[in-house]
Structure 1
Amino acid sequence: MPAKLNLKNHPLSLYVHWPFCVAKCPYCDFNSHMAGKIETAAWRNALLTELGFRARQAAEALSVDYSNIELKSLFFGGGTPSLMPPQITADIIDCAAGLFKIADDIEITAEMNPTSVETEKLNAFAHAGINRVSVGVQSLDEAGLKFLGREHDTKEALSAITAAKRIFPSVSADLIYGLPEQTPANWTKQLNKLLSFELGHMSCYQLTIETGTIFHTRARQGDVLTADDDAVAHLYMVTEEVLNGAGLNSYEVSNYAKPGQASTHNLNYWKAGDWLAIGPGAHGRLTTANGRLHMANRKSPDGWLSDINVNGHSCETQIIETKYQSFEEYWMMGLRLCEGRPLTPPPAFGGGNFFLHRDWLNIFIQEGWLEINNNSVRTTLQGRLRLNTILPRLLDAPENELKA
């Protein structure tokens, strides 16, 4: 039998994509689809089939028996995974436990929308094995919820958080800022309301206009759908001040946590870890002896289901990234982290072959946007506001052009 993988240096996570929603939010560019009639038995069987395929694929790619692979986190995303029948959730968790070693402190997260119907299912999800929920509040302002096309109201959001806090050991909540004419006072009020629930984790995302969304169509027609850049920057600074002041420390551009409550699963993404992914449109990564393996499934729910029934998987993309692609991903994800990343990436991510642009690195340090400590580089608060400016310049080192 192959030697056991050293997972202290090689964390493995599992992502499960449930693509169905009650309605499509106008800002959302995720692979989500209006839920019609769903053949739950067929979806259950397909997800379990693909999970078995991915476990075998990981064992082959990592040269280790998959029963020796330790799973550190499992994340049900979407779509709206809280629309998934809890029994399917339980079956996926049980299947994963039969395939892999389960870490004693495994984090098992499900995203949920705070409608009254879904809140009633929380006990069933806890019984299934979920130990962390991320509640998609998005706004605690009725006008904001209507603007964002959400199906719940403020009362339902607060009730959902109350119920989740009672049932789960770990609860996170999401908010969106940067809505048109949103004021710092309004935003501060929303933040403080969520803080009153003593959550261990919060995510605050800037509203952005993504290609292919309803908001994108409206923006092209001339509608103003976001606050201006200066207002957004001010709201971000308010977020940092209010949440950090309440003991939720910023650990990533959009994420805040009390000590020990940062998201294990998302940290694995940002730290260039490995993860398997099942479900329509799901993407995974594995670091193999030959390079970084990028896997992506077919996005269409019907097409994905058909592929599983015929082939046992739905791999639309399965390629080894170039070292430069892995180098780019390492920094694009890693500089989102407040702790930063080692200046020389591991060899699998182009370390020793590719470099950050030295001149721009020095300029950004002088501007106070980047810092280097103990041979690691990190963004400052001002730098996190300017990542879209910083990243393309850092990655455009002239010595990389001949190697990419």
Structure 2
Amino acid sequence: MASIYIHIPFCKQACHYCDFHFSTSMGKKEAMLEAISKEIKMRAPEFKKETVSNIYFGGGTPSVLETGEIDALIDACYNYYNIQESPEITLEANPDDLTEEKIEALAASQINRLSIGVQSFFEEDLKLMNRAHNAREAVDCITLSRKRFKNISLDLIYGIPEMTNARWLENVEKALALDVPHISAYALTVEPKTALENFIKKGIIPPVEDEVAQEHHTLLIEKMEATGYENYEFSNFALPGFYSRNNTAYWQGEKYIGIGPSAHSYDGERRAWNINNNPRYIKAITASELPQEVEVLSLTDRYNEYVMTRLRTQQGLSLVEIAESFGEKFQGYLLSQAQKHLEEHLLFLDEDQLVVTKKGKFLSDGIAADLFMLNLFQHPDNEHTN
């Protein structure tokens, strides 16, 4: 199976923490949608032997588009790709866009899953992050959406400056009370050249503290598991049957095509990414050129990718797959690097699966980095399998 990701590079306003590619000017919307539609057609040969299981609209803020514009892009996918029966088609949406009229229009469209960017149910957090919606809109849009959509996810952010443990737990409880089957929760990170970084440097906003984020994450895990949600990937929680196909495909290393400016693609052997400049993207696509850079992954790159993605999942990574895909020397290297984390109870072995413990979950990215091959001198077998 394979996936299609479509990046819609428009937002009403800039969130203080965001470093994704977007524009707050909608002046080139028509030309952008024409270019995205054309890229969908241009990239189809890459998936001529693939069946697409899901289409995901991210951004930016895809919900700023008219429903007809979204349907036109979905139709383009159906015209040029082999789409499986009943695919998952997700739209990222902001609460302020999800009026009752918009929700009804989306429910009548081909969209069958909403991913709603709530981030917090508290006004002070939303103002700090410069979100376009308020807390009341967050609750109202989810309540309305549940009447028309069975498959809904919402996003929350923890580790926000001055967010107490009590307020974070209340956020989680408010989300659970809305009875959505999927919740994604992310630690607030300070990205370079964002407004958040600038405000922290100037002392306008207190710094983000890793210790607070780790406490919030621990509370999150306990609360979600106690209410029947499965932590199928570090940041994602779902009731049985509601794992995100897009998320699962990514963490399982399946192929995906990224359409639109700044979108990334992966085919198992190569990574590619489109230019993150709207006018240059439109100009190139109009001239039937793909404005992208491509990186061919070495055996070691692919091993590192496997470790990075699989270690974040509840299944962990398979020692058998490591040996089969990369060679027994890679497997031996992995086990030797993992030993200290096994001794510290940050990892455990479940038959042939190397899995992060609850204690190690918040540290999983750092643990993965310890398991990476860092340079040619460390590569066993000089890049060859046994």
SS in 2 for 1:294: strand
Question: What is the match of residue 242 of structure 1?
Answer: 223
CA RMSD of aligned residues (A): 2.1
Instruction: State the Cα distance separating 1:229 from its structure 2 match.
Output: 2.6
- 1:151 aligned residue (132, 135, 138): 132
Indicate the percent of aligned positions where both proteins have the same amino acid: 29
- 1:400 aligned residue (371, 379, 382): 379
Question: What is the match of residue 52 of structure 1?
Answer: 41
1:187-230: CA deviation from partner (whole Å, max 9, x where unpaired) = 11111111111110001111111122111223334555454332
Bigger CA drift: 99-108 or 115-124? Answer: 115-124
The letter for the 1-side match of 2:382 is K
Bigger CA drift: 113-122 or 136-145? Answer: 113-122
Question: What is the match of residue 183 of structure 2?
Answer: 202
The answer for unaligned runs of 5 or more in structure 2 is none
CA distance in 1, matches of 2:178, 2:339: 43
Q: Superposition pairs for residues 366-385 of structure 1, below 5 Å?
A: 366-385=343-362
> Does the 8 Å contact 2:323/2:330 carry over to 1?
no
CA distance in 2, matches of 1:258, 1:331: 26
- 1:22 aligned residue (4, 7, 12): 12
CA distance in 2, matches of 1:161, 1:393: 41
* TM superposition score normalised by structure 1: 0.88
CA distance in 2, matches of 1:167, 1:199: 12
> Does the 8 Å contact 1:345/1:351 carry over to 2?
no
The letter for the 1-side match of 2:23 is H
CA distance in 1, matches of 2:96, 2:167: 23
SS in 2 for 1:75: strand
CA distance in 2, matches of 1:205, 1:247: 20
Q: Superposition pairs for residues 171-320 of structure 1, below 5 Å?
A: 171-222=152-203, 225-287=206-268, 292-311=269-288, 313-320=289-296
* TM superposition score normalised by structure 2: 0.92
Bigger CA drift: 322-331 or 297-306? Answer: 322-331
Instruction: State the Cα distance separating 1:39 from its structure 2 match.
Output: 4.0
Instruction: State the Cα distance separating 1:26 from its structure 2 match.
Output: 0.8
CA distance in 2, matches of 1:183, 1:140: 14
The answer for unaligned runs of 5 or more in structure 1 is 1-10
CA distance in 1, matches of 2:40, 2:341: 44
CA distance in 2, matches of 1:119, 1:30: 28
SS in 2 for 1:115: helix
Bigger CA drift: 386-395 or 292-301? Answer: 386-395
1:16-70: CA deviation from partner (whole Å, max 9, x where unpaired) = 0001001111101111221332342x333211211111111333xxxx3xxxx31
CA distance in 2, matches of 1:104, 1:86: 22
CA distance in 2, matches of 1:390, 1:129: 40
SS in 2 for 1:236: helix
> Does the 8 Å contact 1:215/1:225 carry over to 2?
no
Instruction: State the Cα distance separating 1:345 from its structure 2 match.
Output: 3.9
- Give the 3 Å change call, closer, same or farther, for CA 383–164 of structure 1 in structure 2: same
Question: What is the match of residue 7 of structure 1?
Answer: none
SS in 2 for 1:137: strand
Question: What is the match of residue 310 of structure 2?
Answer: 334
